[in-house]
Amino acid sequence: MRGSRAARSAAVVLAAAATGIAVAAGPAAADVPIGQPMNGKMTYYTDQGYGACGTAIDANSQDLVAVSPAWWTSANPNNDPLCKGISVEVSYNGKTIRVPVRDKCLSCDRTHIDLGRPAFQKLAPLDRGVVNGITWKFVR
């Protein structure tokens, strides 16, 4: 059967829904390691508009974090479990902050987080730009 890619994808989703099979765009929700410390790096960003959770963001003035696409578990990020009370606790150089997940960082790997500018400033000067050697974890 020939048809558009979108039509074939829609047919797969409908068939999966009819049979009760879950279709996911990433790891299962259980794969998000709540409370498991990770070592990685942090950067900051200043985007304004709507984040991946579907809410208005201003990364230039809000404490928030964008995380790797690897952690998102829903085809529609607005409905993703990460958008429902999950935060990231970040520790660096004797300081620890907690910021809510509000966005997706498309250029981040699994251990790289992208903080809103004010959150980054609580841990390091902005002129650092990229800070390696942080510890972070997902928390509820």
d(C-alpha 72, C-alpha 55), whole Å: 16
Residues across the chain: 140
Question: Please, which pLDDT band fits residue 126 given cuts at 50, 70 and 90?
Answer: very high
Q: Indicate the Cα dihedral angle 140, 38, 107, 122, nearest 10°.
A: 70
Fill in the DSSP letter of residue 81: G
Mean pLDDT of the chain: 84
Q: Indicate the Cα dihedral angle 74, 36, 89, 66, nearest 10°.
A: -30
Pairing between β-strand 112-116 and β-strand 38-45 as defined by DSSP bridges: parallel
Amino acid at site 126: L
Cα angle 104, 107, 108 (rounded to 5 degrees) comes to: 70
pTM strictly above 0.85: no
Cross-strand bridge partners of residue 88: 99, 138
Q: Give tens-digit pLDDT for 88-119.
A: 999 999 999 999 999 999 999 999 999 999 99
Q: What is the pLDDT of residue 3?
A: 39
Q: Give tens-digit pLDDT for 36-58.
A: 999 999 999 999 999 999 999 99
Amino acid at site 60: N
Q: Considering the domain 26-139 in this protein, what is its CATH number?
A: 2.40.40.10
**Contact indicator for 58, 67 with CB cutoff of 8 Å:** no
